Amino acid sequence: MTETSAITAPNSEPAVETRGLRRLFGDHVAVDGLDISVPRRSFYGFLGPNGAGKSTTIKCLTGLLAPSAGELRILGLDAVRDELEIKRRIGVVPEDLALFARLTGGEHLALVGRVHGLSVAQLAERSAELLVLFDLESAAAVPTSDYSHGMKKKLALALALLPAPQLLFLDEPFEGVDAVAAQQIKSLLTGFVAHGGTVFLTSHVLEIVERLCDHVGIIAAGRLVAQGPLAELRGGAATLEQRFLELVGASGRPAAELDWLHA
């Protein structure tokens, strides 16, 4: 894993830094000149309405999509030049979870652990702990095609945590997860950040972001509209939701009224 890496990066640099990140799909601009800065050891919430460009951004940051333009630095490393080294140091829960339908949970853990260079003992110990934590022991020998959405999400999270990464990218990690597991995940992630890790998380549930995150970035129509420490960004607004609606331009909209819907 990272112990043998020849590449070193100063710890003072942000965990994630983008300059002018731009991604096009044909003529459609999904992400337009994004300048993100995520401090190390922070819990960063990345918010935005549907179709704002959150998932595209996270895919660019994790190497699933190539940026059309701009610079990306992850953990002080160049995202293009040091792609493999970055992948050794990060954990990802992508939008579609990236699971093989016909591999079991146990085989997924073996695949990720071995490719990350874990020893047999490390792999066995960590896998067992993660399976217990996410209540997946009984499903370890079952192909993921037979998992529920929540189980798949928990397995994807276990795979992200297995190599003990320095930085976690989590795309909607709480969606479809039951309340008990969600509570455990929150506690685990808070502990991860307290011990020096960094979390980059997207979520539609603003209450979760408000409770967990210390830094927030808000994207709308592919552009970053605000970024900074949560308290600073919230400013005078009573809740993050209120501030979010103001920033994405939804607060001025008339209240939804469909006369024909009224009985």
Query: Which residue among 84, 132, 188, 205 contacts other proteins (CB under 8 A)?
Result: 84
Query: Which residue among 125, 129, 146, 207 contacts other proteins (CB under 8 A)?
Result: 146
126 binding other proteins? (CB under 8 A): no
Q: How many CA atoms lie within 13 A of 218 on its CB side?
A: 21
Phi and psi for 18 in degrees, rounded to 5? -125, 145
- Which one of the spans 68-76, 135-143, 195-203, 233-241 is the region binding other proteins (CB under 8 A)? 135-143
Phi and psi for 96 in degrees, rounded to 5? -100, 15
- Which one of the spans 33-41, 139-147, 207-215, 246-254 is the region binding other proteins (CB under 8 A)? 139-147
- Nearest approach, Cβ of 18 to other proteins (angstroms)? 19
Alpha-carbon gap, residue 102 to 142, rounded angstroms = 9
Q: How many CB atoms lie within 10 A of CB 58?
A: 23
111 binding other proteins? (CB under 8 A): yes
Distance between alpha carbon 232 and the CA centroid of its chain, in Å? 22
Query: Which residue among 14, 48, 70, 94 contacts other proteins (CB under 8 A)?
Result: 94
Residue closer to other proteins by CB (options 112, 201) is 112
128 binding other proteins? (CB under 8 A): no
**Residue 4 DSSP one-character state:** G
Number of residues lying near other proteins (CB under 8 A): 50
229 near 39, Cβ under 8 Å?
Answer: no
Residues 20-39: x where in contact with other proteins by CB under 8 A, - otherwise, as a string: -----xx-x-----------
72 near 18, Cβ under 8 Å?
Answer: yes
